[in-house]
Amino acid sequence: MMRVCESLLVVVSSGYSATYSPYDVHYAQGIHAYELENWNEAISELERAIEERNRYLEAKVHCSIDSCGNVTADSLKSSIGSGFSQYVIARGLCLYKCMSAAIGAKYVDWKILPAIDEEFQARLPYQYLNVAYYKIGNLRKAVECGYTFFNADPSDPAISEFEESLFWYWDMMDECRALCDKPYDFGADYPDELPNYHLFQTKMVAQLLECRLKCVKQMELPCGRYHRRSNSDLLPIHFHYLMFAYHEIGNEPKAASMAKTYLAFHPDNEPMQLNIKYLDQEVYQAAKPDNKASKFIKKLMREVKMLEYLQHHFGPRYGFKYDFALLTPFPDEGFFEEEDERLMNEEIGEVDENTQTPWDPDHEVKEPPKTSFGPSYNTPFPTGAEIGYESVAEKIDDLLFDPLADPDKVKQIDTIHGKLPYYSAGDEKFGYVVRDSPKYTVFEDGPAVDAEGPVFDGAVLKQNTTHLSGPTRFVMDGLLSEEQCATLFELASNGVVGDGYEGDKKPHSKGEEFAGISLLTAARLADIGAVDAAAVQLYHDINFKLANVVKEYFKLEEELYIDYIHLACRSPKDDKTTDEEGNIILSHPVHPDNCLYLPDGTCPRRPPAYVWREYSAVLYLNGDIQGGELFFADPSGKYALAGVKPKCGRLVGFCAGTDCLHGVKKLTGGKRCALPIWYTTRKEKEDFTLDDARAILKKLSDQNSSTYDHKNPSSDNNEQKTEL
């Protein structure tokens, strides 16, 4: 029988320290070593990440079930009374003490990016280990890890006895439900402030219940993934087969018990109703369903009723709306089809097979026929919402207008470069299709130009609003030395693929791969000696320097606070510059930074947009690339007006709203690294992780005074640090 890759399944005895170390840090280091083809280091770090994650999950399950599963408020009754709030305090204190003892107090609230856990659930570490072991010639381990990556269940498939299988099911279900005790995900519900105390408690309870109910369907699929159309029959089918097994050996009481248990899940199941007739009816009437299963069903249905109550009394306005599939943990056969049809009939009156049901994301959508205006026109001409009319007659003329019959009347767009032809690429490609204006230029280098605001000492203004074809924008060179660029570029090489985009390795452009590292992640890596602390200090200091540069140049009276910073790199996967339709491929579509840019040209400032952002900036670390330039677009977002080529120490600053629509051309050669920053004047929106990063850097500074040039410390570097 094929063995599985044991390193990912159990806590191996490998000589690692008994002290817990965050598994996301080891995972990042393992991926970094893998990309550098340091195979032994990659194996060591990946297996350490696996071990630490196992340790963390085991500690969380142990604390939630074994240590704190029976906590009550009685222990606090003498001092603060008893009740729900006291229970929350008692359980919270128990969990904190237990987790602190297991992994250390400073790691209890250590935030792991959801994207990293998703990679573990998808078993990507198996894939990395499979290749790494193969590269060092350990074929046995390579095959084991490859087998584990592709096999749906890492447990021994020889376990065929249903009773033992049930034991493992209940054990895994308890673990899944225990791990639902996690931080609340506010998402876009509360962009400005937290809800009041009681609503917050309600939200937390609802998230916990929703997570626990999802465990039923997660048990059905590989890697514990949730799928709403899972039939959730894994548990009931155990009792169905056990009923036959016990009946075959003549154990009628147990057979009757198993039959009643199955009917507790599916009361109207006709085959089981027929099976009951073959059982001794007196024995059947006296039989009781499995005790554990009965309690489990009652518990689930209480949780369902609580969510239904919240949905009925609060409603979608407060975010309490749940998929019917979630509220039916064990649906009968055909349930989804019947329910989908009923809901669709309620929504639109009849079923249209070409329409995707909003409550069923898995419904197969048939491509609707495209409207044709001739051999080369597949989309209607712009409507009044896109162009604007001065009279009803003008709108009627536009509706009757045939561009093929009268090409001289083609609508045009007013831009700073003059009138340019209107075109439409369709809503599905909105922002991703742009044309270069006939006057489009890419700034590479040139002499200093007239400044419209104060220029930082030692820097040179190279482009102003006139050169960049729009208001509130500039290009300034000399913000970093070549040495500093090299230091940050090296630090950026520790970036995590997909960081900042929920693990998406190729956000916006499938022809590029993206990796990034936040300031807090960099500080944590410095804390364990994985990266140079002086480089992270430079990363920190330069960001606050740039905030002053932007503030002074735009002559702002209010302070600018950093909403988000990200040291990021992109690498091309091909050298294509246009798609199959001849459109320019973009690394990042045309967009503003603080509103939702919609196909009709409007840009409402509402969540999930970062509505508090007011200014943006990009500091480039290198220029030895092909393509990849940032460009500013006209107000329609259809034409690129002016581009800026990246260069070491070059800062591009601009407003965050629709006056500064911008995008990025696709990178075709080299590796582009930059430091994008978004600013706000609202103190409460400052990136809260910066305080944690500062605390780590201060601790490191107190332990060992560092300089930027860790290879050749000198007084010059200390002066440079003071200057920043």
pTM of the predicted model, to two decimals? 0.47
Higher pLDDT, 330 or 617: 617
Residues of the chain with CATH 2.60.120.620: 476-723
Q: Which of 132-141, 279-288, 411-420 has the lowest mean pLDDT?
A: 132-141
| Average pLDDT of every residue of the chain | 76
* 420 bridge partner residues: 413
Confidence at residue 645, expressed as pLDDT on a 0 to 100 scale = 96
Q: Model confidence at 479, in pLDDT bands (50, 70, 90)?
A: very high
Q: Taking 90 as the threshold, does the pLDDT of residue 314 lie above it?
A: no
SS (H, E, C) 442-483: EECCCCCCCCCCCCCCCCEEEECCCCCCCCCEEEEECCCCHH
| pLDDT over 90 percentage in the chain | 22
Confidence at residue 601, expressed as pLDDT on a 0 to 100 scale = 80
Higher pLDDT, 206 or 162: 206
* Average confidence (pLDDT) over 598-617: 86
Contact by Cβ (8 Å): 227, 221: yes
Q: Which of 127-136, 204-213, 399-408, 675-684 has the lowest mean pLDDT?
A: 399-408
- Which DSSP letter does residue 584 get? B
Confidence at residue 357, expressed as pLDDT on a 0 to 100 scale = 33
Q: Report CA-CA distances (Å) from 506 to 2, 249, 561, 590.
A: 35, 58, 29, 17
Q: Taking 70 as the threshold, does the pLDDT of residue 717 lie above it?
A: no
Q: Taking 50 as the threshold, does the pLDDT of residue 115 lie above it?
A: yes
Tens digits of residue pLDDT in 488-521: 999 998 877 655 444 444 455 677 888 889 899 8
Confidence at residue 90, expressed as pLDDT on a 0 to 100 scale = 78
Contact by Cβ (8 Å): 223, 9: no
Confidence at residue 487, expressed as pLDDT on a 0 to 100 scale = 95
Q: Which of 94-108, 143-157, 243-257, 648-662 has the lowest mean pLDDT?
A: 143-157
Q: Model confidence at 269, in pLDDT bands (50, 70, 90)?
A: confident
Confidence at residue 184, expressed as pLDDT on a 0 to 100 scale = 63
* Average confidence (pLDDT) over 336-357: 49
Q: Model confidence at 270, in pLDDT bands (50, 70, 90)?
A: confident
Tens digits of residue pLDDT in 201-211: 788 888 888 88
* Average confidence (pLDDT) over 453-457: 90
End-to-end CA distance of the chain: 62
Confidence at residue 4, expressed as pLDDT on a 0 to 100 scale = 42
Contact by Cβ (8 Å): 459, 479: yes
- d(C-alpha 318, C-alpha 315), whole Å: 6
* Average confidence (pLDDT) over 129-154: 65
Q: Report CA-CA distances (Å) from 10 to 25, 83, 709.
A: 19, 40, 42
Q: Taking 50 as the threshold, does the pLDDT of residue 296 lie above it?
A: yes
Question: Averaging pLDDT over each range in 69-73, 84-88, 528-532, 674-678, which range is the top one?
Answer: 674-678
- d(C-alpha 302, C-alpha 209), whole Å: 10
Q: Model confidence at 373, in pLDDT bands (50, 70, 90)?
A: very low
Confidence at residue 618, expressed as pLDDT on a 0 to 100 scale = 97
Q: Model confidence at 84, in pLDDT bands (50, 70, 90)?
A: low
Higher pLDDT, 722 or 605: 605
Confidence at residue 447, expressed as pLDDT on a 0 to 100 scale = 94
Q: Taking 80 as the threshold, does the pLDDT of residue 564 lie above it?
A: yes
| Segment holding 698, helix H or strand E | helix 689-703
* Average confidence (pLDDT) over 396-411: 50
| Segment holding 620, helix H or strand E | strand 615-620
Nearest to 252 by CA among 284, 291, 274, 289: 284
Q: Taking 70 as the threshold, does the pLDDT of residue 288 lie above it?
A: yes
Confidence at residue 146, expressed as pLDDT on a 0 to 100 scale = 60
Contact by Cβ (8 Å): 128, 136: no
Q: Taking 50 as the threshold, does the pLDDT of residue 219 lie above it?
A: yes
Phi/psi of residue 514, nearest 5 degrees: -115, 140
Confidence at residue 353, expressed as pLDDT on a 0 to 100 scale = 38
- The hierarchical CATH code for the domain 476-723 is 2.60.120.620
